[in-house]
Amino acid sequence: MKRYLIFLIFLISQTTFGQELLLSGVYKGEGLYIQNPYQADSGQFCVQSILVNGKKTSTNLQLTAVRLNFKGVDLYTPVSVKIMHGDSCRPRIVNPEAVLYHSNFKFDSLVLNDSIMHWYTKGDRRDGKFKIEKLKNDYWDVVKVMRAKGRFDGAQYVYFPEHVEGGNKYRIKYELPEGRYLYSMEMEFYHYPESVTFSPRIVTDKMTFSQEASYEIFRGDESVLQGKAKEIPLRMLAPGDYTIVLNGGEEEGFVKK
């Protein structure tokens, strides 16, 4: 007897909690239609606001049939819809299947920190691949491509990101040869590395950094030495005033005796 396993990438949940109607799934390019009853006794429509992924939308709610178009949401990315409504009425989502996504694959968990990104999957295929994308100047750049392990019961993947200072945003695209694909949730990490210091300020033979760093030394406008290290010999430098730039930061001065 054959057994079939079917996973939902995001299970639909259409239940009310007081004044909320919740629905989650995946945006597939289709709009979501909502019946929005008009309450004659109060002169108001039932729906008060709609939030997509936690952000309030500008959808026109002064209609009995509301269309949510998911403006600004990327295709095949997870969506969570929260409909806030009055106590004495209930809106209805006409086509919840618009965000249902049936597949034998899912992202089980994703973790991102200062040094590592790792994620777990279920149902990936050997002919699939993962593209790790990083947001840069409002565009998603592919920074790494990895082949899927093809383990239906579960697999773990690891990537070592190179963060820039400040905000770093990533997402993972699972892609199949026939053109089907699915994005993970976006992950964001704020990276503020410790500044590198150097000593001594009056140098005789060498200079030491607080940690390994890229450096460039100038005498006036002339670059005289550059590289990457934690300690550099400076015996060969002529005596005088110099400046050093560490990891592309601000210039700082020192004296060679």
Q: Distance between CA 33 and CA 16 in Å, rounded?
A: 17
Same topology for domains 7-99 and 198-256, yes or no? yes
Closest CA to 238 of 257, 216, 218: 257
Query: Could you tell me the pLDDT band of residue 4, with boundaries at 50, 70 and 90?
Result: very low
Domain 198-256 in CATH 2.60.40? The answer is yes
Query: Could you tell me the pLDDT band of residue 102, with boundaries at 50, 70 and 90?
Result: low
Closest CA to 161 of 152, 153, 170, 149: 170
DSSP annotation string for 9-66: SS-----B-SSEEEEEEE--S--EEEE--EETTTTEESEEEEEETTEE-----SSSEE
Q: For the domain 7-99, what is the CATH code? A: 2.60.40
Domain ranges, ordered by start, for the chain: 7-99, 104-191, 198-256
pLDDT recorded at residue 219: 92
pLDDT recorded at residue 117: 94
pLDDT recorded at residue 103: 63
Query: Could you tell me the pLDDT band of residue 231, with boundaries at 50, 70 and 90?
Result: very high
This model's pTM is above 0.75: no
Phi-psi region of 146 (alpha: psi -120 to 50; beta: other; left: phi over 0): beta
C-alpha pair distances (Å), 17 with each of 53, 125, 179? 17, 38, 38
pLDDT recorded at residue 1: 34
pLDDT digits (tens, 9 = 90+) for 202-226: 999 999 998 888 899 999 889 999 9
Superfamily name and number for 104-191:
Immunoglobulins (2.60.40.10)
